[in-house]
Structure 1
Amino acid sequence: MNRRWIGLLAALVAVAGFAPAATAATAPRAACPDPGPGLLRCLTTYTSAPALADGPIGWGADDLASAYRLPASPGPETVVGISIAYDAPNLEADLAVYRAQYGLPPCTTVNGCFRKVNQQGLAAPLPEADFGWALESTLDVSMVSAACPSCRLVVVEGNTPGFADLAETEDTAVRLGASVVSNSYGAREGGAPLAFASHYRHPGVTVVASSGDAGFTAASYPAVLATTVSVGGTTLARDPSSARGWAESAWQYGGSGCSAYIAKPSWQKDTHCGKRTVADIASAAEDIAIHYTDAGGWLPVNGTSASAPYIAGLIGRSGQAGATQPSSLYAKAASFVDITTGNNDPSGAGRKCGNDYLCVAGQGYDAPTGLGVPNGLTGF
């Protein structure tokens, strides 16, 4: 039985109500189980057993466009790369359903908008399928599409989630024309992953990565790299009483951390972490609607694996792909909407970091939400 069907069986068991009660009710379930040492993990999660329906459940492309005040113009045809492991057999079809639902123009192999290749950049053979990583791929292309309907997509599938294979997908995406590359996976920083840091540094390319889904903890690779735009997560809610029409707080599971390895970049000025602090900016990471055939259709998902590709798409839409780097975001800090409530310490409401900005949102920079969330495209 291959990875795709093992994962599907697990999802169906959860749908039927056999997931442990505490897990199903109170904490997100990982789409990708912990792979162990030497491998990266996709960061999509469920907050409960998937709730399947005929239409979207959760925040869709139009909601996100409203929350982040996106302009009417779709932007240029920036090529956005998706670095991912394993194959997602229904990826193009699921993307077509998502884009049609929200009135986005078709993005297909035929019209040149969509391309899926293996880690060498070839159309075949593709890696084996995997349920969790395919769910991740589907979320990635949906979020880039929501942020940048005009962007073209190149999805590069690694043979495994090993450091070397995913590093090669990064290089291949750039070789195939991507000026923004999104990475919705992570591993605890350390000597083994950091040996591949150079693959996430390309002149004229913006590299974006998820900050993690384990709350305040050890910094996540590749988000911790100083060359990477590290994206945290928020919880979004409608707020008719506010001028914005939306309220936002730090997502309780969004990753943040203080590096033990990466030197403090000159452009990062926070004072309670002597090295690189994660994250840089944030966007919605909870209750995101996607269409995923292998789980039965529409379902809500969570994760900074939603916020990272969304930010990657916004950077593509801004026309500043490549020019946008972590340092440039800090130079435009006032262009983001500051998130001042919430924390990413699910078990202690901020006690894990002593109620410090490293795990509690507040005025100005904080690690869970960085500089804040997009206010149109002005920050890019």
Structure 2
Amino acid sequence: MTRFARIRAALSAAVVVAVGAGGAVLAPSANAASSATGQHAVTKKISGRAGNVVDACGPARSGYARCLAEVRTDVHAGKGVRGPAARTATGKQAALPPGYGPADLASAYKLPATGGSGQTVALVDAGDDPNAESDLAVYRTTYGLPACTTANGCFRKVNESGAASPLPPDQGWDVEISLDLDMVSAACPGCDILLVEGTDSSFANLGTSVNTAVALGATEVSNSYGAEEQNGIQPFEADYTHPGVAIVASSGDFGYGIPNFPAVIPAVIAVGGTTLQKASNSRGWTESAWRGAGAGCSAWIDKPAWQSDPNCPGRMVADVAADADPQTGPAVYDTDHGEPGWLIVGGTSASSPFIAGVIGLAGHPARFPNASYLYAHASALNDVVGGNDILGVDCGGDYQCNAVAGYDGPTGNGTPDGLGAF
């Protein structure tokens, strides 16, 4: 048995094969015949999930996606924290909220202070967040970022048809939406932001929202949601294939196993996750694979020509990464549904919009009809070595679930080291 076969056998032990109408087993594509036996609904053992973290969104039924934000339950800033604009009772400047802010992330990833002119980063989410613009204003004011509002033309919010009204019913994705808005702002304060709110989280409505974002002029589109790849995703590939526009998606938050849709689509840049910590080294930071970072070998999607990792005959996820660990997560401001304001939020829902913002900051979205540019310029990324994303299934030391030198599943080709790879 080859090393790849052993890995797939371990994964298959956690797989529940989907059954179609009349009891027929839904078979993988012809490409998948040598790589898997029915990657469908995995019964995951999330034993490595920290006890101080909860999912912002619950499980989704078949044909629907879930948001991938993870919220710390043990850290909340006081309501009076407003960064540079706030003062304590004694007149001293109030502390910034807990969690990484834009300056931290710019330092970690060597991002320039300016850029993004002419770029519009779209965020596709499900349902309306009525406080999206006002919460974004608090975040940007707190960190001294330029205003991004409807009035000044920087911010737009539309439904999946592209109209400002009527907006869809609230789907409980408010933390996700705030995280998306704040991470794009952190990476690219000079980018315009387009929030497209799908009617619900069905594959059909989210795909329609992506197409609407592109039609409205988005240069980058971030999708911080997903579902395990499954039979029937192929018709939605066209929704995420827009040459000239960089389409980015989260790799997932459940570790190594079945790859995430839409991240597994070849035209999509799949963004994994790291644990980012300050350090007394020349970079000032260290990174390792985040335990929850989604990674996996596709049973349904052929291997792209630009991908050459040895032990996966299908599309391998991820391509690139950034901080996603809730334990080292960014500060996010959200007040919808009674949220207290400042939170620390992680998940690959944080890394996807951040990378979309980095692409916007660099200003060359046409380089990314897919992730091939990142593979050709991997030397311009921080190669993340150390850690793994084993929450339920162990790949036996292979690169598919361990951060090793060069390409690996959890972190792809690495994390931003300036804009050389973008």
Indicate whether the TM-score tops 0.5.
yes
Judge conservation of contact 1:213–1:303 (CA < 8 Å) in 2: yes
Secondary structure in structure 1 of the residue aligned to 2:111: coil
Judge conservation of contact 1:25–1:48 (CA < 8 Å) in 2: no
Instruction: Name the residue aligned to 1:146.
Output: 186
Matched, 1:289 2:331: yes
| Aligned with residue 64 of structure 1, among 81, 105, 108 | 105
Judge conservation of contact 1:24–1:49 (CA < 8 Å) in 2: no
RMSD: 1.5
Judge conservation of contact 1:23–1:48 (CA < 8 Å) in 2: no
Displacement of 1:204 in angstroms is 1.0
Secondary structure in structure 1 of the residue aligned to 2:365: coil
Whole-angstrom CA distance in 2 between matches of 1:285 and 1:146: 14
Secondary structure in structure 2 of the residue aligned to 1:150: coil
1:20-31 correspondence to structure 2 within 5 Å: 26=51, 28-31=53-56
Q: Deviations over 1:294-338 (max 9, x none)?
A: 311101011101000000001011011122330111110111010
What is the identity, as a one-letter code, of the residue corresponding to 2:116? G
1:168-247 correspondence to structure 2 within 5 Å: 168-240=208-280, 242-247=281-286
What is the identity, as a one-letter code, of the residue corresponding to 2:248? V
Matched, 1:318 2:359: no
Instruction: Name the residue aligned to 1:14.
Output: none
| Aligned with residue 348 of structure 2, among 300, 304, 329 | 304
Matched, 1:337 2:382: yes
Q: Deviations over 1:8-34 (max 9, x none)?
A: xxxxxxxxxxxxxx9995363211100
Whole-angstrom CA distance in 2 between matches of 1:228 and 1:371: 15
Greater mean deviation of Cα atoms: 58-67 or 185-194: 185-194
Instruction: Name the residue aligned to 2:22.
Output: none
Whole-angstrom CA distance in 1 between matches of 2:344 and 2:72: 8
Higher alpha-carbon Rg: 2
What is the identity, as a one-letter code, of the residue corresponding to 2:53? P
Secondary structure in structure 1 of the residue aligned to 2:139: helix
Matched, 1:328 2:382: no
Secondary structure in structure 1 of the residue aligned to 2:233: helix
Judge conservation of contact 1:255–1:344 (CA < 8 Å) in 2: yes
Question: Any stretches of 5+ residues in structure 2 without a counterpart?
Answer: 1-46, 82-95
Secondary structure in structure 1 of the residue aligned to 2:274: strand
Greater mean deviation of Cα atoms: 134-143 or 74-83: 74-83
Instruction: Name the residue aligned to 2:89.
Output: none
Instruction: Name the residue aligned to 1:32.
Output: 57
Secondary structure in structure 1 of the residue aligned to 2:185: helix
Instruction: Name the residue aligned to 2:68.
Output: 43
Matched, 1:357 2:399: yes
What is the identity, as a one-letter code, of the residue corresponding to 2:163? L
Whole-angstrom CA distance in 2 between matches of 1:160 and 1:75: 30
Judge conservation of contact 2:187–2:354 (CA < 8 Å) in 1: yes
1:93-108 correspondence to structure 2 within 5 Å: 93-108=134-149
Matched, 1:265 2:304: yes
Secondary structure in structure 2 of the residue aligned to 1:191: coil
Whole-angstrom CA distance in 2 between matches of 1:326 and 1:84: 22
Q: TM-score, normalised by structure 2?
A: 0.81
Whole-angstrom CA distance in 1 between matches of 2:116 and 2:56: 32
Displacement of 1:101 in angstroms is 1.3
Q: Deviations over 1:23-50 (max 9, x none)?
A: 9953632111002211101000124355
* Moved beyond 6 Å, runs of 4+: none
1:117-128 correspondence to structure 2 within 5 Å: 117-128=158-169
Aligned residues with identical type, % of pairs: 49
Would the alpha carbon gap of residues 274 and 74 (structure 1) be closer, same or farther in structure 2, given more than 3 Å must change? Answer: same
